[in-house]
Amino acid sequence: MQPLFNLFVLLLYFLIANPVYSDSAAGKNLPYANANEIGAVATVNPLATQAGMEAFESGGNAIDAAVTAALTLGVVDSHNSGIGGGAFVLVHWADGSVEAIDGREMAPGAASRDMFVRNGKADPELSQTGALAVGIPGSLAAYQHLIQKGGKRSLSDALQPGASLSIKGFPIDSVFANRIGRVADKIRQFPATSSLLLDDEGEPLGRGDILVQPDLALTYLKIAKQGVEYFYRGDFAALTAKWMHENGGIITADDFRNYQIKSRRPVDTYYNGYRIIGFPPPSSGGVHVAQILNMLGYLPVKSLATGERYHLLAEIMKRAFADRAYWLGDPDYSRVPRGIIDPDYAKKLVATIDPVRVTTVKQHGMPPNHDVDLFEKHTTHVAAADKQGNWVAITTTLNTSFGSKVVVPGTGVLLNNQMDDFSIQPGVANAFGLIGQEANSIAPGKRPLSSMSPTIVLKDAQPVLTLGAAGGPTIITQVVQALVNTLDLGMPLDEAVAASRIHHQWSPDLLFVETSIHQDILDALSGKGHVLKNREHLGSTQAIGIDENGNFVSISEPRIQKLNTAREN
């Protein structure tokens, strides 16, 4: 009876949904970022942005819009995110309070420190692909908490656009198609994923192909009807545990049952007259955005030439990432010192920088009171805001493209590979080239370190900017550069996001530079001793601000839009 019921539900929704693909249904004539007199939304996909704006039109607020957009991204941007992954949510509530909601994945109860070590050597393939790579997803629990606390609509309402798009299907864009092509060999290892993302000949779906996801639609509809209990304590958890048992995994139904979000104390710092609110550990983003800004606060940023600014930024980034590698981890398991964001510590680090030459950073620094003053125990970003004062920053991820590449049969849900964000062996780099030490080692129930950096900026106690980014470790440096461009250099928000970027993460000892940077500046950086590595673009930022008339300004990453446009022409 159940398969017949499922078929009936799908047919019913299919009849309700419009199966004709106009340009607007394909997202071609829809904005990636949008704003009106009610509120604003910015995402990396126009269909998700439209769903968020429609939540406003249906009586919702920024909370409803953000959750709706995030759940829709899990359908149309599933190489980056979905309910099989995790999320950090930073929210400025209308009453002026601020909350950091930790929906990061948790290690399974049977996880162990050396679970990816074979014959004395770490095997990154095990932490990046397949059953062992998966952490317990937390996004859905975070969205439920957010919408129950401050939304005007229900979680069921927020799931409907994603369910509808799963049934109708949508044309795959160039970026999505490119991601499938990159990892097709790994996708072929998993039948349910192959049937979703490959054609009948086993080849990757291409740009313009219609992706229909009936199993994911049913999962969304069952959550809409039964609540998150279906996911964490019901059939989804049971199906996942069964698949794991049959395929060498260690996740159990109890792991899902034991998952819980954490409410954490946000990271606060002050820069150039603004209050910068970031996400605390197990995010490294808020800590190191604050640390980098603290160091920049001792420099005459406004008066620096572009080449000088890039040089000093690179040297500052390098010192922050050296600290990240040693000190950062889940504060419920590791001793993460608050002294990293101490302004006096920043001053000491700045004193080690040579303004005209590259300096070698051999190891991490020693923050003050590092043993006693501690923090409390591919990715996408959603920004949303409303006139009532609700401002939301959600950064959510499966980790690398399509996560672990695992779709549990019958669910349509792609599962993350977030276990790779742990230090699987001290000094061994993860998929993004980042290394870590004991603070980020694996333990049962522990949450892996993240670079996700949802950020909210206040001026005179009022929110004026919300932003975040995607792109692994470049998330931190993208957010910093957007803040410098707006708060120091006075750029309009669209120019601040579009401006050329650099990135240094200490290891490898390379300065990544976008190809748009003028050759004279690149020559100057090389002359100071930087080893340059060209990249077409570094990451993807979404942001919402306020213009001089008090109107919302909503910005989505122009690099992604240009990339899609270029590949379609």
Q: Cis omega before residue 161 (within 30°)?
A: no
Distances in Å between the Cα of 338 and the Cα atoms of 266, 279, 341, 364 are 12, 13, 6, 15
What does the alpha-carbon distance between residue 188 and residue 202 come to, in Å, rounded to a whole number?
8
Judge residue 432's burial from the number of C-beta atoms within 10 Å of its C-beta, 0-12 exposed, 13-18 middle, 19 or more buried.
middle
- Paired tokens of 228: 């998150």
Cα-based angle 156, 54, 162 (whole degrees, multiple of 5): 45
Cβ neighbours for 417, distance < 8 A, ≥ 6 positions apart: 127, 128, 129, 133, 134, 398, 399, 400, 403, 404, 405
What pairing do the DSSP bridges indicate for beta strands 532-535 and 511-514?
A: parallel
Smallest CA-to-CA distance from 133 within 363, 431, 370, 335 is with: 431
Smallest CA-to-CA distance from 470 within 534, 382, 361, 558 is with: 382
Q: Cis omega before residue 355 (within 30°)?
A: no
Phi, psi of 512 (to 5 degrees): -80, 130
Strand ranges (E), 37-192 = 39-42, 86-92, 98-103, 117-118, 121-122, 170-171
The amino acid that residue 278 corresponds to is G
- CB atoms inside a 10 Å sphere around CB 362: 6
269 forms beta bridges with 276
State the catalytic residues: 379
Contact status, residue 561 vs residue 31, Cβ threshold 8 Å = no
Q: Is the dihedral of CA 27, 30, 31, 36 positive or negative?
A: negative
For the chain, report the end-to-end CA distance as a whole number of angstroms: 48
What does the alpha-carbon distance between residue 7 and residue 1 come to, in Å, rounded to a whole number?
10
- Paired tokens of 429: 């780099």
Distances in Å between the Cα of 251 and the Cα atoms of 77, 111, 149 are 25, 9, 30
Please report, for the chain, how many H helices and E strands are present, in that order.
Answer: 21, 20
- CA 473, 478, 480, 482: dihedral to nearest 10 degrees? -170
- CA 107, 108, 111, 117: dihedral to nearest 10 degrees? -70
What does the alpha-carbon distance between residue 381 and residue 26 come to, in Å, rounded to a whole number?
21
Smallest CA-to-CA distance from 394 within 385, 407, 403 is with: 385
Contact status, residue 384 vs residue 61, Cβ threshold 8 Å = no
Q: Give the number of C-alpha atoms closer than 13 A to the C-alpha of residue 261, restricted to the C-beta side.
A: 21
What does the alpha-carbon distance between residue 200 and residue 183 come to, in Å, rounded to a whole number?
17
